[in-house]
Structure 1
Amino acid sequence: MESTLKSLRDGESVLDLSPRSTVSGGVEDVYGEDRATEDQLVTPWTFSVASGYSLLRDPQYNKGLAFTEKERDAHYLRGLLPPSCSTQQLQEKKLMNNIRQYEVPLQKYMAMMDLQERNERLFYKLLIDNVEELLPIVYTPVVGEACQKYGSIFKRPQGLYISLKEKGKILEVLKNWPERSIQVIVVTDGERILGLGDLGCQGMGIPVGKLALYTALGGVRPSACLPVTIDVGTNNEQLLNDEFYIGLRQKRATGKEYYDLLHEFMAAVKQNYGEKVLVQFEDFANHNAFELLAKYGTTNLVFNDDIQGTASVVLAGVVAALKLIGGTLAEHTFLFLGAGEAGTGIAELIALEMSKQTKTPIEETRKKIWLVDSKGLIVSSRANSLQHFKKPWAHEHEPVGTLIDAVKVIKPTVLIGSSGVGKTFTKEVIEAMTSNNEKPLILALSNPTSQSECTAEEAYTWSEGRAIFASGSPFDPVEYNGKVYYSGQSNNAYIFPGFGLGLVMSGAIRVHDDMLLAASESLAKQVTEKDYAKGLTYPPFSDIRKISANIAANVAAKAYELGLATHLPRPENLVKYAESCMYTPLYRNYR
């Protein structure tokens, strides 16, 4: 949003977007997206946009049939709309009716994307008011199918595509994006999209979906969000041979060529948007994810949702589950299937929280956590052949080849799946967990649903209703022996939108592990007795804006405490401040 008063030219019209305007027909409320999360010196009291036909095609300002009679006269809209005037509520009702008519989930996804490109505020109003119904559509699991077919369904670019062709020109490319005050960038290189593998340039659906949730669930202004795909090629032969593929047709660049491009991108982002822009790395392959996080974590405000966001949301679910399974965190034994970025990230944060609670060194608390990868249990005799991020988990033990043997030998109380491989928590595995524990905690985290280690029905049936279960993708309630079981969704969407808002509103310049712990603690505290009575370890998504505000406040408080916040002085009530910062999708009145 430009902070200049533009002169009126023929065919243009002033939109009064003043945050405190009392002019008749002006904006009568304080809208967070114009103030608390707006990092600029001049308040944009008034500015002009094209009117008439162009206004109807600008998703940021278009209201469709909700333009009033007065607005239709003032903004050259007469005759360009049918005579009926609608309300945003009626538009929402009509669109939800339309979306529910579609039987194919991908059609629902495309309908939502079309709406986002046509009427931004209505898109976010729908998503916020129907979050439990629409979240699986705009994000996992349907976004996975959308990425697989992105070349065929691609209509208009929704973010920036930076390929090897742009090497040496990335700063110029960033300047091509129309918005200037960007606060959150979600970037992927498409190499490890959900559990679906290398989708190359078609991974753009992930940054687009994540940033829609930053706005809907965390209240970060849409205009402050920038989706980016770094295209260095793909090793997916099917895509390389697909005539509709929209990315570079070459094998993936690696080594110096790859890291030089990423380095140019990170430097250009800092130069163009400043120190406080949050860069979220998304769906990078393990070998790059850890290296990029380690390299830029000390120089930029960066966050990896697969490593850190997943860890934070899972830790919250485990802490909340202690009310149901009993004991303290340190009294439990954890076994992971999957030792990639998600598995090791979760394990490290659990060990960190354990260390904080018991005041023992993290090297000791790690010994309560065991990991199984494709070659079996990670033990010290394998240390020389392990990738660096697996080495802290190589404990003294005899080699164990399979998950079922590891369950029998380690006797874990908590089983966590982050393998990306479906159907790996077999009947035998669940039964072994149940024979060792009165109430085993089983988390099948891999996305999308087809890759889940087991279903909710399998977990409850095979454990004879004793398991406490949560998953990465949503599952319907399960009836077993006359009782209905509800499973929680260990979805990163609980954490990253509020986490990002907390960083933005405090003006944080770096991410610290203590901020992730603060986010987990805040989420765990919001599980109510009513939720526990259903066997849930996460609060309902219908309260997500409230949940995000509390997480943002906790994260911001930690940023101030650590001396990493730059928005001074610190607000007295951080929860109220977070709520005041949040983008509101209600239509504005134009004069």
Structure 2
Amino acid sequence: MPRSISAALIPCIFLASLHSPSMSDPKSKFSHLPRAAAGPLTCPHQGNSVLQSSQFNKGSAFPADERSAFKLHGLLPPNIQTLDEQVQRAYQQYSSRSDDLAKNTFLSSMKAQNEVLYYKVRPEAWSRIITFLTCDQLVQTHLKEMFSVIYTPTEGDAIQDYSRLFRKPEGCFLNINDPDRIEESLSSFGSGDDVDYIVVSDGEEILGIGDQGVGAILISVAKLVITTLCAGIHPSRQLPVVLDCGTDNEDLLADELYLGLRQHRERGEKYDDFVDRFVQAARRQFPRAYIHFEDFGLKNARRILNRYQSQIPCFNDDIQGTGCVTLAAMLAALEVSNVQLEDTRVVIFGSGTAGIGIADQIAETIATKTHKSKDDASKQIWCIDKPGLLVKSLGQQLTDGQQSFARDDHDWSENDRDLQSVIKKVQPHVLIGTSTKPGAFTEDAIREMARNVERPIVFPLSNPTRLHEAKPEDLYKWTDGKALVATGSPFQPVNYNGTEYEIAECNNSTCFPGIGLGAVLSQCRLMSKKMLVAAVEALKAESPALKDSNKPLLPDVENVREISVKIAAAVIRCAVEEGLAQQDGIPDSDSELQEWIQAQMWEAGYRPLVGGN
């Protein structure tokens, strides 16, 4: 199923930061706002303390006046350099590392020393590659090679080797056997208005590599990096958290260097109480922070989201982010194919966290936009998993989320619950794959679908590429070029009968950062279902396919920061309409609202430092 970040997404994020216009205009009438990333920055440190702070450290780029004001003479070489010169040196150091894991470790070390340089060197690295390469294929090859260092698969390797690579802690580590220290631990990261965005994981299901215990802190860190790159969330106002509940990974338990709790995972009441104590303590310590749940286990992810989404502003990217981006692509495809939402029939093949998250978002949107009940909207969706079509007689085998989509047994014999039979009987407009079962969308199944609808909408979303339910080129061939396709990994355009079709990638990073930005800036009390629908509509409105059906169903993530502004604006407007926004002074007009948002988005650049607390 689609991940929030992929090896091929990251280049586009970096390219976005290269080519997008400045989001922090010091002349903006909103440059006075507390989160505006322009003007002087108050630094409470002196001497070595300044150099040890990743937020304030400029290394060799400190100008003469700041070296005097902050007592840095003698602590730095005398030559004053520019940020561009630092980037050049950092990129050379990065390039000299022997393998991808060493490069990943180098970047992590840089982040701990100087966050501006860390965020700046990455797009600059891609700029240098593009400067020296002229063949598009070579550019793509090198970009993919480098971006795999930043995230999957190398980030997965870093998480698996977390305890062996450990140098300096980053984030907050909470221990299920010491819940009385939760509040004290969180207080180390500030209070009140110091934190805007929290990503928390218990590490049970990480990046397709399963239970990684305390190493999950790195997935929380990585998701926050993406919110900064894609939506300008201030890195100094973020908090990565890991809930160490033990691990069922026997390799970790047997590793004498493992840094987490050396015990099997806690379940049941003790686990629920630990999660609740974290949530309540976080709300007391950071009363306006937005909490993003990441990579929780299948049995806990939805249950936790259901418990807290009516109490606090929170979000689960595996459930809601995946659902939002897929739904945006689906709505664009329905508009292209002239099918009304209230008439749409959807089959989802693979009903785990991602599949049911997509089903839930589709049902919620049908209910919101057509005024149907949620139950009636759910009847437009057929979910298939390992036992076949989900039916009510499966009982306790079904998760809470799956039960909403289980069909009556008397309508379906045991012999017609496979994918081919369901397609033949349902005649779906939309087929979505989140099964990780390669080749599951067979030629017979797709041709059966194409016999009954004019423009089959087919989304093989499992990733990596080798796990896709079908290849785009086959889908166009089997439907005579009529299919509308989106995938969970990047694919080259398909040429069929002389027509080139561009393939959309359903990637959460076009959506969740903008949603989070809207939540942070509106200071919303809750993340409502209508706010998510507004985000989906904003993303769908950017679909190139609405102007040319041969174009992709989703916008290119190269423009992700601009997309994030529009999604954030839609979320904020909806929060205001629903009475959920707590921030004063939100502009009424669209143009002013977008300027207000842009003024508060962080960019990688050194700001003048002034002394103070």
Q: TM-score, normalised to structure 2's length?
A: 0.82
Tell me the CA shift for residue 558 of structure 1.
0.7
| 2:136 counterpart of 1:120 | no
The residue that corresponds to 1:580 in the other structure is: 599
| 2:362 counterpart of 1:350 | yes
Change (3 A) 1:204 1:442: farther
Change (3 A) 1:406 1:102: farther
Aligned-partner residue type, residue 365 of structure 1: A
The residue that corresponds to 2:157 in the other structure is: 145
| 2:345 counterpart of 1:333 | yes
Which one of the candidate residues 211, 224, 227 is aligned to 2:224? 211
The residue that corresponds to 2:180 in the other structure is: 168
Aligned-partner residue type, residue 391 of structure 2: V
SS in 2 for 1:393: coil
Aligned-partner residue type, residue 414 of structure 1: V
Change (3 A) 1:70 1:37: closer
Tell me the CA shift for residue 405 of structure 1.
3.4
Change (3 A) 1:47 1:579: same
Aligned-partner residue type, residue 543 of structure 2: V
Partners of 2:593 and 2:26 lie apart in 1 by 24
Segments of 5+ residues of structure 1 without an aligned counterpart are 1-26
Q: Which moved more, 1:100-109 or 1:554-563?
A: 100-109
| 2:316 counterpart of 1:304 | yes
C-alpha contact (below 8 Å) 2:191/2:286 kept by paired residues: no
Q: Deviations over 1:50-109 (max 9, x none)?
A: 22x443332112223333344445444445545544332344455456656779554443
| 2:537 counterpart of 1:521 | yes
Change (3 A) 1:137 1:81: same
C-alpha contact (below 8 Å) 1:125/1:585 kept by paired residues: yes
Partners of 2:109 and 2:31 lie apart in 1 by 23
Tell me the CA shift for residue 430 of structure 1.
4.6
Aligned-partner residue type, residue 532 of structure 2: L
Q: Which moved more, 1:443-452 or 1:251-260?
A: 443-452
C-alpha contact (below 8 Å) 2:545/2:553 kept by paired residues: no
Please list, as runs of the form range in 1=range in 2, the aligned pairs for 1:151-550 lying within 5 A after superposition.
151-177=163-189, 181-274=194-287, 276-383=288-395, 385-396=397-408, 397-398=411-412, 399=414, 400-426=416-442, 429-430=445-446, 432-434=448-450, 436-437=452-453, 439-449=455-465, 451-456=467-472, 459=475, 466-477=482-493, 485-528=501-544, 532=548, 535-550=551-566
Q: Which runs of 4+ in 1 moved over 6 A?
A: 27-34, 100-103
Change (3 A) 1:402 1:377: same
Q: Which moved more, 1:492-501 or 1:533-542?
A: 533-542
Partners of 2:202 and 2:607 lie apart in 1 by 37
C-alpha contact (below 8 Å) 1:37/1:504 kept by paired residues: no
Aligned-partner residue type, residue 295 of structure 2: D
The residue that corresponds to 1:13 in the other structure is: none
Partners of 2:476 and 2:169 lie apart in 1 by 43
SS in 2 for 1:205: helix
| 2:81 counterpart of 1:86 | yes
Q: Deviations over 1:305-348 (max 9, x none)?
A: 11112111111111122344442333432111122232222112
Partners of 2:226 and 2:280 lie apart in 1 by 26
C-alpha contact (below 8 Å) 1:301/1:510 kept by paired residues: yes
Aligned-partner residue type, residue 512 of structure 1: S
Partners of 2:436 and 2:107 lie apart in 1 by 27
Aligned-partner residue type, residue 182 of structure 1: V
Which one of the candidate residues 42, 49, 52 is aligned to 2:45? 49
Count of residue correspondences: 559
C-alpha contact (below 8 Å) 1:33/1:220 kept by paired residues: no
Q: Which moved more, 1:101-110 or 1:514-523?
A: 101-110
Which one of the candidate residues 98, 104, 110 is aligned to 2:105? 110
Tell me the CA shift for residue 456 of structure 1.
4.7
Q: Deviations over 1:185-215 (max 9, x none)?
A: 1111111113332222222221111111122
C-alpha contact (below 8 Å) 2:183/2:281 kept by paired residues: yes
C-alpha contact (below 8 Å) 2:490/2:505 kept by paired residues: yes
Q: Which moved more, 1:168-177 or 1:150-159?
A: 150-159
Partners of 2:104 and 2:320 lie apart in 1 by 27
Which one of the candidate residues 35, 53, 61 is aligned to 2:56? 61
The residue that corresponds to 1:23 in the other structure is: none
User: What is the CA RMSD across the aligned residues, in angstroms?
Assistant: 3.3
Change (3 A) 1:259 1:369: same
Change (3 A) 1:115 1:477: farther
Partners of 1:231 and 1:73 lie apart in 2 by 44
Aligned-partner residue type, residue 57 of structure 1: Q
Q: Which moved more, 1:131-140 or 1:256-265?
A: 131-140
C-alpha contact (below 8 Å) 1:184/1:277 kept by paired residues: yes
Partners of 1:419 and 1:316 lie apart in 2 by 20
The residue that corresponds to 1:556 in the other structure is: 572
SS in 1 for 2:218: helix
Q: Deviations over 1:245-275 (max 9, x none)?
A: 322121110011111111111111112111x
C-alpha contact (below 8 Å) 2:214/2:259 kept by paired residues: yes
SS in 1 for 2:291: strand
C-alpha contact (below 8 Å) 2:486/2:506 kept by paired residues: yes
Aligned-partner residue type, residue 59 of structure 2: G
Partners of 2:63 and 2:609 lie apart in 1 by 9
Aligned-partner residue type, residue 558 of structure 2: S
Partners of 2:250 and 2:168 lie apart in 1 by 25
C-alpha contact (below 8 Å) 1:280/1:302 kept by paired residues: yes
Partners of 1:229 and 1:392 lie apart in 2 by 31
Partners of 1:501 and 1:215 lie apart in 2 by 10
Change (3 A) 1:529 1:360: closer
